[in-house]
Amino acid sequence: MPELPDIIVYIEVLAARTVGQVLEEMRLQDMFVLRTFAPPIETLEGQRVTAVRRLGKRIAFGFADGKWLVLHLMVAGRLQWTDGGVKPKAKNVLAHFVFTSGTLSLTEAGTKRRAALHVVADEVGLAAHDRRGLDVFTATTAEFGAALRRENHTLKRALTDPWLFDGIGNAYSDEILHAARLSPVAFTQKLSDEEIARLHEAAESTLMTWTDRLRVEAKGAFPAKVTAFHPAMAVHGKFDQPCPVCGTKVQRIRYAENEVNYCPRCQTGGKLLADRSLSRLLKSDWPKTIDELEERSAR
């Protein structure tokens, strides 16, 4: 799922291409993507875009008549841009939005169709799509800690909760926790003040570093490949590859459709976290530490 750094870059390139432009035509290829019926989406045609705004992981287009179009890309939704006068060649298209300057195509790989469009009448309607998670860039460390300690959850769950923190998902939470040298299953109410300060600093630096990196990669062009897996990431998507800090093989826990990636030496004091399915299968044969796992692998 595109997260804060990806959405910021999307917002910047979309604003440069659409603000001041009239939405001339919309072509919905899959009606299921539209989740609202009032106001009708057709009323946006002929309207000028006045703003492009980020709401967590959502992208909102503001129009001159006060209406907003809200896009939620979910896991597999992506955006493609085709300059004016060129026929779009995007695949798996859910909708085309035609401007004088070009065509914005909303695509989604797979068959689950989770990406969504909502049309709202005004700022009040737009606010209903804002989860109001804390912005780690503007929050003080005290505010960051208060949000963490509001309930007692694991760090992984807390960081990815949009009601607690703004724009952080599965990929960047892995990177933040690795940078902070904290276990993904540590409980929020048991963190020390020093650990909270370290986590806040890691969240700011990780998200800013990756936003700047993605800007540089885009070079002002429309992002062609938005993915949760980058070669330069430390642990996310790097199972069984060496940690860039200590060289230990990155481990993972799988759950539902997500997974946690972590370095056992940098983050958990050498302990292996229990993978629900695998550790239940192996029971007493499940290694408890990275040293034990490496010893078995060397036999």
Domain CATH for 290: 1.10.8.50
Indicate if 172 and 118 belong to the same structural domain. no
Average pLDDT over residues 26-36: 94
Residues 157 and 247 in one domain: yes
pLDDT value of position 110: 85
- 100 plus 164 within the same structural domain: no
Q: In what order do the strands lie in the sheet with 116-120?
A: 49-55, 58-63, 68-72, 116-120
Question: How confident is the model over 79-101, as a mean pLDDT?
Answer: 92
**Considering the chain, what percentage of its residues have pLDDT values greater than 90?**
83
Same domain (yes/no): 293, 164 = yes
Confidence of residue 276 (pLDDT cuts 50, 70, 90): low
Whether the predicted pLDDT of 225 surpasses 80: yes
Residue 135 in any domain: the answer is no
| pLDDT score, position 39 | 96
- Domain tally for the chain? 2
Q: What is the largest CA-CA distance in the chain?
A: 70
The residue segments making up the domain with residue 241 are 141-298
The torsion angles phi and psi of 93, rounded to 5 degrees, stand at -80, 135
Q: Are residues 239 and 187 in the same domain?
A: yes
Together in a domain, 105 and 175? no
Statement to judge: residues 107 and 198 lie in one domain: no
- What pLDDT does 251 receive? 95
Give the whole-angstrom CA distance, residue 253 versus residue 31: 37
Whether 96 and 154 map to the same domain: the answer is: no
What's the mean pLDDT in 155-177? 96
Let me know whether 87 and 205 are in one domain.
no
C-alpha distances in Å from residue 179, one per residue of 101, 128, 297: 41, 33, 27
Specify the pTM: 0.91
- Residues 6+ away with beta carbon under 8 Å from 13: 81, 218, 220, 221, 222, 223
Is 133 domain-assigned?
Answer: no
User: 265 and 160 in one domain?
Assistant: yes
pLDDT-based confidence at residue 1 (cuts at 50, 70, 90): confident
What is the rounded average pLDDT of the residues 187-214? 97
